[in-house]
Amino acid sequence: MCECEEKKGMPLLGDKFPEMKVVTTHGEIVLPDYFKGKWFVLFSHPGDFTPVCTTEFVAFQKRYPKFKELNCELIGLSVDQVFCHMKWIEWIKEKLGVEIEFPIIADTGSVANTLGLIHPGKGTNTVRAVFIIDDNGIVRIIFYYPQELGRNIDEILRAVEGMQISDKYKVSMPAMWPDGEVVGKDHVIISAPKDVKSAKERLERAKKGEFECLDWWLCHKKLEK
């Protein structure tokens, strides 16, 4: 069940997450207001009582405390009905000893259509999509996975933390951060200069040890949180 605002096309990076009223295992809620002031990860799965999805939910739950440390909540979604979600999380607790604490949306198809989650050629099943929403309700990252590939939850955690650090310190994160291969471990990339003067000033600052530069356009430093 969902009441979504009218919007053409799925939300893109930088868009406001569309307002929608949804039915979940925690009752009826309104997104994104339900998580106001917090980041949240909305992730869809093809269906309850399926093997790959079960492993993903266990992995998400085991890392839920780490998400909370980042002021980030979790919410799942599939086109199954709410009682099916409830029975599935009961099965996970009974068989695997893991209690799913975050809500799961019971979608009739409205949310999936609004967010572009229906897998082409796979009927009404939803893809393994991940939307990372910041504390202002803005879509910051979107991941898509096919049904056959389970997600790496540690990468989603890394993405949330990386974006939060980028916002706070106005820096960029290198590939494989925090284990940089080109720059050092825990190093971040200094934003590129926008003119000749700032480029020269940057090299002078590097000489003073404020950060390291491979060239004027690629400077980095170890982040002191």
| Catalytically annotated residues | 53
Using CA atoms, how far residue 21 sits from 30, 32, 33, 96, in Å, is: 4, 9, 10, 31
DSSP one-letter code for 38: S
Burial class (CB in 10 A: 0-12, 13-18, 19+), 149: exposed
Using CA atoms, how far residue 85 sits from 45, 56, 58, 154, 220, in Å, is: 12, 14, 14, 24, 46
How far apart are alpha carbons 23 and 104 in whole angstroms?
8
